[in-house]
Structures are given as C-alpha cells and as structure tokens.
Structure 1
Amino acid sequence: MSHTVADHLLARLREWDVDQVFAYPGDGINGLVTAFGEADNVPRFVQARHEEMAAFAAVGYAKFSGRPGVCMATSGPGAIHLLNGLYDAKLDHVPVVAIVGQTARSAMGGSYQQEVDLQALFKDVASEYLVEVNVPEQLPNALDRAMRTAIAQRAPTAVIIPADLQEQEYEAPQHAFKHVPSSPPDHPRASVVPPADELAKAAAVLNAGERVAILVGQGARNAVTELRELAELTGAGIAKALLGKDVLPDDLPYVTGAIGLLGTRPSYELMRDCDTLLIVGSSFPYSQFLPEFGQARAVQIDVDARFLGLRYPTEVNLLGDAKGTLERLLPLIERKADTSWQGKVAHNVAEWHETVTRQAMLQAEPVNPMRIVHELSERVPDDAIITADSGSATNWYARNLRFRGRMRGSLSGTLATMGPAVPYAIGAKFAHPDRPVVALTGDGAMQMNGMAELLTIARYRELWADRRLVVCVFHNGDLNQVTWELRAMGGAPKFEESQALPEVSYADFALSIGLGGIAVDDPDALGDAWSTALATDVPTVLDVRCDPEVPPIPPHATTEQLKSMTEAVLKGDPNAWHLFTQGMKTKLQSSCPPSAERSPRWTLPRCATSPRRAGRSRPCTSTPRTTPRTPPSSSRCDRRRSKPRSATSGPTARR
C-alpha cells in the first residue's frame, strides 16, 4: 500500500501529539478523510456541525490545554467558514493550526468550482505563517513550521494542501538543492527574563509607591505564586482583565475582580486611587479604565515587545515571561510596613460581594439573570471549566462568578464574537475529559449555533470520563446586549423587529436528542436545578427563563450613559416602566448598608417591591425539594423575603 501525502500528514500530527482534529468533511479534503479511515481514526476526526464551530472548538481546546488546537476544512466555503474562529484565535493569542483543502493544481486559475484564492483569504488571519504545499517533499517543513510558529507566536497558522496532492505518493525531502528538510517534532521551552538593570528600575518604582495596583491578564497564568507574594510585599490590590479572570482566585481579599465596562466597582476604585501600576501579561485595551495619565508611575511585564507601553505611558518596560521576570524581581521588592491601602481594597471587595449578592437576589420577571450565575458560583466544583458567550451573559460571568481552586474560564475576549461558548466547551472536554464543564450562553447565541453543537456533544460524550457538561441558556427572548447598547449608547428604544427572538424550548430540544434538559422559571428552584445538572452523568441543558430588563449597569456608569438610558425610556421603549424599576432597584443596592445578620440567599432589600408574575412555576418531574430552607430574620435594609416554594414546585427535569 502506498504512503500518500495525506497519510504522512496524519503521521506527522501524531508525532506532534495531536490527539484530535476538529473538522468537517468535503471533497477538497477527500484524500485526508480517506487517510483518517486507514489510520483507524488516529488522530480522532471530531466532526463539528459547521466549520466555524470546528475552529472555535480548536480555540477552546488550545485555551484550556495549553497545546495547539488543530482544525480542518475543505476548499472554498469550508475554508471561508473557518475564518471567524481563526480570528478569535488571532485576537486572543491562541495557537491554532488550520489545515485546508484546495482545488486540484491542474484546475487552479480556471475559475473552477469552489476555487477561492486561499492565500489572499488567509493572508491576514494567518499572517504569522501561511503556506501552500505544492509538492510532497514540501510537507514536513510546512507542517512543522506551522506547528512551531503557532506555539511560539501564540497565533493561528494555516497549511493549504491541494486535493490532488493529498492522494499523491509521499516522497521525503532529499539532501539536494532547493529541498528543505525538517527536524523531528519537539517542544522547546525557554524562560525570557529582562536584564538586571531594568529589573532594578522597576523595583525602584514599585518600592516608592504607596498605593500599588496590579493588573493581570492571561499572560500571567503561570505566575500565580509570584503574584501572591508580590501583592503581600507591596500591599497591592489586583484587578483582572477578562481573559485573566481565572488567573487568581476571587477568595483572595485583595483581588478586586474584572476591570472595564464589565468590571467591578473595587477594580474601578483601585485604578482611580492608586499611585503606582504594574501590568503583567495583559494588553487590556480600554485605557479609560486605567489610572489617569500622569497619576500613576507604571511598570509593565510582557513576553511580547509589541505590547509593551501600548495602553499606558509606562516608565519601565520589562520584556520577559511573567513567572521568570517576577521571580527575579521579588528579591528586590521591599515589604510595605503600612498595609492600610490593601486593607481599604479588601474592605471595598467585601462590600462589593455583598452588593452583587443583593442585586442577584432581587425579584425579576421571572428570574433575575444575575442570580443564575450567583447560584452557580455557590455550587460549581473547584476543578470546573467555565466558558461564556458574547452577550449580556458576559456581564454576569464577569461580575457574579467567583473563581476558586483550579477553576478555569474563558470567552472570546478581543473579537467578542457570538457563538463560541458551546464549541469552546466541547474543546475543553477533549482537553480535560475528567473535569466538569459549564457553558454560559444567551438564547441568541444558542439559536445561532449552540443548538446544533448539542448534537456534537451527544455524539462524543461517551469519550469523556466525566460526562458533566452543563449548557446554561439565559432564555430572555431578546438579543439583550445589543438592546442595552442601543439604550445606553444611542438613547434609542428597543427595536422589536431586530431584537426579539423566536420562541423555542432548549430543554426540550436537548431531551429530544438524548441529553438532559431542565427548564426553570422559578428563582427559588434555580439552586436545586444547578445542583441536579452538576450531579448528573448526562450532558444537560439548563434552560432558564430570565428577565431581559435587568440592566447590566456598570458600577461606574457615566452621566452620558444614564442620560441615554433615560432618553430611550422616554422615546417609548417597550415595557419601559419595568425597565426603569429594575434599573433603579439594581442601582440602589450599591447604597444599601451591609448587614452581618443578612443571609444573601433569602433576603431582599426594601426597594425590591416589584411583584413576581403569577403562573411561572412548572411542575417538576424529577425528585422534588422536600425540605424548604428557612429564611433568616430581616435587617434594616431587608423588608421582603423570597418565600420558599412548596415541595411540588421547581424545575422541570427529565433525562
């Protein structure tokens, strides 16, 4: 039997320890598909429902495994469909290798069916390395360089292989003129550190600071121990960029949470009041959420010189990886005797946690979307992986989900594209089949592509040692984030024709394909629904009907944003009064004094007077809750309580 170019490609991928390729077939890669069959499906061909989803799954795999994800598509339309996922990888600095078919060489330039100029198509997204293989001897060097470049540059690369070449007999490169050999696959590692004099300058800046703030991004993920020690020495507070949300646990008292429009009030206050700023492994783009220019002396650490000094006028730039650089910086840092700054940060963080808990427990019609993530946060396993989609659900992921233990999480950070939460979760399960995964997605993204990828989950679930995969749908019938952007940025009311979504039961769809499905429209049943979903050994859809009028108000909302919101209401926004009352109730929680007596699970602030709609509860076909919890006594800021439901009410749970 001849050894084809396609056969050698798969053999080389195995040498690179590639266990699966996320793909969709087509005649432009028929040779490759045949090779998978002859290789007993090693590496595994993971069939997504769409090429874009294959690329997203590869991104999710790369984000959570630390290894390059590989995706594959046919020529023409298949290659085009990969682009959105590859741009997600490019903008979030994730190593992904795309292998793409092309029209047969004999037909190129002849306006042949599905002939697209793939070199032009991928020129930007795969700018770090893009190659078309035209002779068999070219293959090893092309694939190896694509893999090495993706890893080294943390970027997508692309290898184009014409259809006829895939079936041609493979010939290795020779020790000859115009042949390019390649070394065996390897995984070289190095620690890049700045010179001693630059480290000394940075230490001098940090030692002189009295109110130190640290901003960490995903590039600091390997430096958790060093960051904690630095915070203890400098008395700093630490804010996290959204892609760095899982770098440090939120149970550290000086960790202020996310920063930016989706961020927390303590992060805003940390940047507003600091006199020194250290940025580690982040290219957070929104400089308006950093200290005023000239207010703070700044130091930045990044392994990529292109991002040094890019977002803030930094005084010292340290080129190096986070862990190695901090290890050499720490001995130069003097311990602060005055810890009042960090104490203030910790006090602000504690108050904020009480505030968002009160906000999450506010009544809504029918379920407060903040409470969805609040209840998850109380129950999620310490080793869970959380993926989130773009949309209003991102707000609650950013503010209400508290990371702890070995939890990991990510989303489309810079591209902020809709649709990656479910395919990310699939990639995460292939990266860590022994860990539970939760995907948080809006109903817009679910209708766009998430429902189709439930079929992929159903197909491959048997491969995962831990089959817990919960897809939580924020079911509000609205493209909610855009609706709020219309209101807050343009002062425009919601336009129903563009924003309203068709009605569908996501839980029933999951049940129809053999997955678990739980429908929730009662806030008091939500906690038990999460517990059920996280305990079952069947991937489950948690379909929660939530209120689209609960506003994602930033804790530092500007006068202009509030003015635009008011204009939207006055212009006749649908359900304007409910929108206004939910916004007022949410905002007023910031001024509610904390109470040691309060149990956030059960009590509501005095301003939470919106009556709950009747008739929302659906019968439960799973084991009902038989022991209602008893709410505590009220405090001065709590006059209403959410009443425990009867034992016969709760989520609709079927498997």
Structure 2
Amino acid sequence: MAQTVSEFVIGRLREWGVRRVFGYPGDGIGEFDGMLGKAEGAGEGLEYIRPTHEEICAFMATAHAKFTGEVGVCIATSSPGGFHLMNGLYDAKMDNQPVVAIVGQQGLNSFGTFNQQESNLEQAFSDVAEYVQTIVSPEQAQAVVDTAFRTAITRKQPCVVILPHDVQGLKMAEPGAEMWVSRSSAVAPSTEIAPPAAQLHAAAEVINAGERVTFLVGAGADGATEEVLQAARLAGAGIVTTLRGKQVVPGDVPFHTQQVGLLGSRASYDQMQGCDTLVLLGTNYPYGQFLPKTGQARAVQIDLRPEQLGLRYPTEVSIWADVKTALAGLLPLLTQKTDLSWQEKVAGDMRDWDAELAAQADNHFDDAVNPRKVYAELDKRLPAGAIVTCDAGTTADWYGQYIRLRDGMRGDLSGRLASMLAAMPYAEAAKFAYPDRTVVCTIGDGAFQMLGMNELITLKKYLSRFDDPTFVVLVLHNDDLSQVSWEMRTEDANPVWPTSQQVESVDYAGWARLLGFQGITVTSDDEVEAAWDTAFAHRGVTVIDAHTGKNVPPLPPHITYEFAKNTGLALLKGDPDGIGAIKDSATSLITEGVEKVKDALHIDRD
C-alpha cells in the first residue's frame, strides 16, 4: 500500500527508536496528525501526549531526553505553534539535549506571499536549532529526517524538521541513485568517543601529582557514576557536583559536598579555595568566581562538547571524549593515594555543613513556613527511585542545599537557560518515562501560575496510564517572585518593587481539589511533616500549598562584602519588606554574614 510523506516520517521516527511524542495540533500539521491517528488505530503509532501548550511540549521533549538518554520529539503546527516551542527548544540547546521538533507549515506556493500563518520558519529556528530544514519533496524526506536525528544525537542539540501542509499528503517516493538525491539510513551513530592514549597519560600525571584533588562533575557525566567514584577514591579526591549533576553522584557519598556557588555548600566552596588539582567532568559550569584562582590548581577537563574545553578554567589537559569512556581508560593509570587526609577533611566539612543546614531548617519565622524545613523533611522521606524536579527560583536554592539524590534517584531542572515553569513539564515527562516511580515537582507560585497550574489538567487526563499514580506538586506559596526580589537587593542594591514582584494569591490546594486531586494547605512548620507523610501515602496527585516566607534569604555559603553591602543599601532605600527581610535574614545569616551586614548597615556591634 502506497505511503504518504507523513506516514513515512511516522515510520521513520519508530525506526529511530521513538515511541512517545509530545504534540499540540493545528491545521498546519493537520495531515501529519491525521496519519498519527491512523497509525494509532492500526497499533503501529506513537504514544501521543498532548499537554495544554506547545511550550510545554518542547519542555517535555527536553526533559524526556534528559531522563532517558533518548531523543525527545515534539510536534506543533505552523507559525504560532512553532514559535511557542522556542523556549523549550532553547532549554535543549543550552543544556545539550537531543531533541527533534516537527513543525507544520503552510503550502509550498504560499512561501514569501504574506499568506495566513506563513512565515520564514527556517530563519526563525536558525539560532536555536543545530539543523533546520524544510521538506519540499518526497524524495528529500528520508535524508532530512535522518540528518535531524543524527545531528541531534551527535551534537546533543535540538533540530527542526519543517513539513509544509501539501507535502505532508504527497505520495512517498523511494530515493533513487541519481544526482541531488541522498539515500540515508536510520542508524544511530556512536557517541562513545575515546581519547588518545597520550592524553590519558598526561591527565593521569596531573591527577597523580595532586595532593588536594577536587572533581567538579556535571550532567555530562551521567551514566558514569561508578567510574567517577572509582577515580575519586583512587585520587583521594573530593567531589563537587553542579546542580544538574546532582544525580550523577549519590548524595550519601561522604566526600560529595553537593553544589558550589550561590546555591552550594560551604564545604564545596572550601574545596575550591583549597584544591591544588581540578578535574572537570562533563560540565560547563559558568560561575568562574567560585572556581580556583588562576594558577592555584592544575586542571584536567573531559567533555563531549569540544568548544567547551578549557573555556571556564585554564586546563593543562583537555580531552574531547565522553566521560564514561575516557574514565574507563584513565582508571588503570591512576595510582592509589595513601594519604587521604584531604578527602577526609572534605567529608568532615560536609558533616559540619549538614549540621548547619539542619539548624537553619529548624528556625521559625513569624506567620510563615520555613521553606528550608519543607525541603529538609522532603529529603528525609524520598522513596527509593524517586524523581525530583525544581524550578528556576528559590526552589533551586532549597533543592540544591537540601535534596540528596541517593543511588537510583534522579532529579533535574532547566539549567543554563534557567527558565521558569520548567519544573512541571519536567516532572510530567519523568512520570511518562518512569510510570512506576514517585515524582515530586517543586515549584514557586509565580512559575506555577505561568503554565504549571494548567498542567494539572494534563495529569488528570493521563493519570490512569501510570502504574504508580503518586505525583506530588509542592508549591512555595509566598505571593512574591522571591528569587528576583532577592536578586534586586543583592545584585543591584535596589529595594523590592511590589508592582513587578507581587504574585496574586491563589488557593492552590483548592484548585487541586477542584480537579479531583488531594490538596493540602500548610501554614505552619508544625504541619510540614504530616503533609509529606499524607502526600506519599496517597496513590494519586497531591498538591501541597505551602505558605512559605518570602523573606527567608537564599544565602550563599560565603557572603561577600558586595553581597552584604548591596542588601543593606536596598533595605535602607525603603524596601517594602525591609523589616521582615532584616528580621528573617538575622535569623538565617551565618556569623560572617551578620558581621558584614552590620558593617553595611552601620549597626552598632554591641
């Protein structure tokens, strides 16, 4: 039976291993959608997940790639639908994820004629996509689809295939052996790139010579957990992970000090200040102020993206390879350190930091729940194999500081793009990928109001598909875009501007109950533990509406004078939350920070 171009593309997706797509319909992609429906009826289709917005489709495709290692696929109609994909595709681009977007277009004869919903999609997607191409004939379809997938896999970037409406319904033609026609294959290329032996020996020399070795491990090391731990044990190294790299190294490894930087631990900060050797594994960590000073440490970097080698810190050895393959070759060359005093110091520093975090979580604030306590109690109760997502606001601060992803757990977020609202589609994609696991989405009220609330409707639609329907959404309800509020103070010395920062209060637990889910309202610290116990005992969706304090500062582990001075100046300029911010900060600040804030505010030390 003759195939159309749409039928061929659907079959080709299956050949590339795609079994699930995230799409939103429209007339520009209508013929393709019709063939998706036909294939579904014949039992030869793809699982088609339709959330409430195309932006969610792209975020879900990116998250699918992150959580599974497969190519994520999203589908949208012409101009408006395609444009809505942009933010999620930029998330894939900036976090190096293989995603293929299939976007509808008006008919070929409409190109350049200012027709309804006709726009230059190739130009529009040219920045976000590593490869973007319009299929203009049946003979071209095979090569375009295959090139998009090969490029997405090898470059770890999003690619876009544009399907004009009339081409979607054309009879498919087998590419022939002729000029201008490519005959391609749906065979995934290997990305296990091994480095030359000379580079491995050079890297081993640097690491073996180090007395205070620190590994900075990013998401690019995903899948290399055992190799990373073996190398660290041989080198007597401490391990720091980036926020996206948390899941690579189990949180209960004693010499794993979690993150570094504004969202990190003091133990990680001290590691970076004290190490003499830095090994960067699969990371493009951008905050250079938290890395060792130039000349302090010898450095080795391993990364699959060659343009990122030697970019953040001067390296002696830069290895273009995937981390797992490179470490497998490096391990036999590493000598076992007999002096483990550095690694033991790192572990001791982390125990001290955890004790301080526990004390911070026990602080009480007037008329508001301590968000630190909410995350501390969540961490204690995470079941085996749980998946946790967080958003780009203060949820990322508390996730970074309190969540310890033990072996088998996963967690992720919008990394370099740091887009708001991603936590919800990330959590949904994780649930579709692992329907038997507990998923926890942690999100701020501002991000939840963007599109997150709508996605409870998507969950209601698909809940019966999950083997274990336990899905928990934690909303930090403080009626404020609190991360930006603190950034206004600490970065620019400006008081909070309520017109831009206030978030309209909504009964999020009530919204959950309206949809038939479990809704729990938490208004005091005493209710936090019971809320989590109730949520995890419920086989279904639970929304925890936690009324947390907006003035609890997301403090960095090392408070600079500039940070303290700007905060003080902002409060002196008439910050509307000034009294609350001063009071809550005084409760939370570590001793060093208190002294510097006093200096900035000219407060008498006595």
Question: TM-score scaled by structure 2?
Answer: 0.95
CA contact 2:261–2:287 (8 Å) conserved in 1: yes
Name the structure 2 match of 1:122: 125
Within 5 A, what are the aligned runs for 1:557-596? 557-588=559-590
Q: Name which of 366, 369, 383 aligns with 1:367.
A: 369
Within 5 A, what are the aligned runs for 1:143-154? 143-154=145-156
Name the structure 2 match of 1:487: 489
Name the structure 2 match of 1:648: none
Name the structure 2 match of 1:282: 283
Name the structure 2 match of 1:4: 4
Name the structure 2 match of 1:76: 79
Name the structure 2 match of 1:218: 219
Deviation at 1:515, TM superposition (A): 2.0
Q: Which one-letter code corresponds to 2:156 in the other structure?
A: R
Query: For 1:257, what is the secondary structure of its paired residue?
Result: coil
Within 5 A, what are the aligned runs for 1:282-301? 282-301=283-302
Within 5 A, what are the aligned runs for 1:41-440? 42-126=45-129, 128-183=130-185, 185-189=186-190, 191-364=192-365, 365-440=367-442
Q: Is 1:35 paired with 2:35? A: yes
Q: Which one-letter code corresponds to 2:5 in the other structure?
A: V
CA contact 2:154–2:189 (8 Å) conserved in 1: no
Deviation at 1:177, TM superposition (A): 2.7
Within 5 A, what are the aligned runs for 1:590-629? none
Q: Which one-letter code corresponds to 1:329 in the other structure?
A: L
Q: 1:190 to 1:59 in 2, by over 3 A?
A: closer
Deviation at 1:481, TM superposition (A): 0.6
Deviation at 1:564, TM superposition (A): 0.7
Partners of 1:224 and 1:305 in 2: how far apart? 22
CA contact 2:105–2:165 (8 Å) conserved in 1: yes
**Structure 2: gaps (5+ residues):** 595-606
After superposition, give the CA deviation of every residue in 1:445-465 in whole Å (9 maximum; x if it has no partner).
Answer: 000110011111111111111
Query: For 2:37, what is the secondary structure of its paired residue?
Result: helix
Deviation at 1:228, TM superposition (A): 1.2
Q: Name which of 462, 467, 470 aligns with 2:469.
A: 467
Q: Which one-letter code corresponds to 1:244 in the other structure?
A: G
CA contact 2:439–2:471 (8 Å) conserved in 1: yes
Partners of 1:54 and 1:213 in 2: how far apart? 38
Name the structure 2 match of 1:649: none
Q: Name which of 478, 483, 507 aligns with 2:509.
A: 507
Q: 1:72 to 1:361 in 2, by over 3 A?
A: same
Partners of 1:83 and 1:19 in 2: how far apart? 23
Query: For 1:246, what is the secondary structure of its paired residue?
Result: helix
Q: Which one-letter code corresponds to 1:462 in the other structure?
A: S
Q: 1:92 to 1:175 in 2, by over 3 A?
A: same
After superposition, give the CA deviation of every residue in 1:499-556 in whole Å (9 maximum; x if it has no partner).
Answer: 0111111111111112221111121111121122122111221111100000001011
**Structure 1: gaps (5+ residues):** 593-655
User: Percent of aligned positions with the same letter in both sequences?
Assistant: 46
| Misfit runs of 4+, over 6 Å | 589-592
CA contact 1:359–1:589 (8 Å) conserved in 2: no
Partners of 1:275 and 1:152 in 2: how far apart? 34
Deviation at 1:189, TM superposition (A): 3.0
Deviation at 1:3, TM superposition (A): 2.5
Q: Which one-letter code corresponds to 1:501 in the other structure?
A: V
Partners of 2:170 and 2:234 in 1: how far apart? 63
Deviation at 1:145, TM superposition (A): 1.3
After superposition, give the CA deviation of every residue in 1:553-605 in whole Å (9 maximum; x if it has no partner).
Answer: 1011210110111111111212322211211111147899xxxxxxxxxxxxx
Query: Number of residue pairs matched?
Result: 590
After superposition, give the CA deviation of every residue in 1:230-264 in whole Å (9 maximum; x if it has no partner).
Answer: 22121111001111011101111100101122111
Partners of 1:160 and 1:358 in 2: how far apart? 55
Name the structure 2 match of 1:15: 15
Structure number with the higher helix fraction is: 2
Compute the RMSD of aligned alpha carbons: 1.5
CA contact 1:518–1:540 (8 Å) conserved in 2: yes
Partners of 1:203 and 1:243 in 2: how far apart? 26
Query: For 2:426, what is the secondary structure of its paired residue?
Result: helix
Q: Name which of 519, 531, 534 aligns with 1:532.
A: 534
Partners of 1:195 and 1:44 in 2: how far apart? 42
CA contact 1:494–1:574 (8 Å) conserved in 2: yes
CA contact 1:516–1:540 (8 Å) conserved in 2: yes
Partners of 2:189 and 2:2 in 1: how far apart? 33
Deviation at 1:304, TM superposition (A): 2.2
CA contact 1:355–1:589 (8 Å) conserved in 2: no
